[in-house]
Amino acid sequence: MVPRTDALTREVVDLIGTVVARYHEEYEEAAAKHSLTGAQAKVLALLSREAMPMRRIAQQLKCEPSNVTGIVDRLEARGLAERRPDPDDRRVKLAAATHEGTATAEHLRESLGFAREPLADLSPAERTTLRDLLRRMLGESAP
């Protein structure tokens, strides 16, 4: 078994850290261009995929539900999100992106060139391998 503190492992960890930092920096800049905070942009990205209760948003972002409530309030005030009853449980409110919110989330995704541009230089097989390795690191199985 390879020691977890060997030079190669440290280099890979440092590279992952650099990629993450650069991604967050670009994400914050892209969000600001839409007058959003990074947290608002992240919530909007989640809601553009599917409506969900506040508790689930908080779990995905690893924060308190009360923080999510404030973020959704601000998105709702801008017409980017709305609250609606859960069709399966009318006691639960779901947060959902509006049409404008979904369009804004898509513009944000399209403006993030940092990760997309270097990935375009990789072959489909290399991107598949990278995806599978990242999923494995995260303990996720292939779809």
Q: Is the pLDDT of residue 104 over 60?
A: yes
The SS3 call for residue 92 is strand
pLDDT one-digit tens code per residue, 77-87:
999 999 999 98
pLDDT one-digit tens code per residue, 19-29:
888 888 888 99
The SS3 call for residue 63 is coil
Which CATH number is 9-111's, of 1.20.1250.20, 1.10.3720.10, 3.40.50.1820, 1.10.10.10?
Answer: 1.10.10.10
Measured CA to CA, the distance from residue 89 to residue 111 in angstroms comes to: 37
Measured CA to CA, the distance from residue 120 to residue 122 in angstroms comes to: 5
142 vs 27, which has greater pLDDT?
27
pLDDT score of 115? 64
Cβ of 17: how many Cβ atoms within 10 Å? 10
Measured CA to CA, the distance from residue 33 to residue 104 in angstroms comes to: 11
pLDDT one-digit tens code per residue, 61-75:
999 888 999 999 999
What single letter denotes the amino acid at residue 100?
A: E
> What residue spans define the domains of the chain?
9-111, 114-143
Assign 48 a pLDDT band (cuts: 50, 70, 90): very high
Task: Please list, in sequence order, all residues whose beta carbon lies within 8 angstroms of the beta carbon of residue 84, skipping any fewer than 6 positions away.
Answer: 51, 93, 94, 96
Q: What are phi and psi of 68, to 5 degrees?
A: -65, -40
pLDDT score of 142? 62
Residue labelled with tokens 């072959």: 123
**54 neighbors 66 (Cβ within 8 angstroms):** no
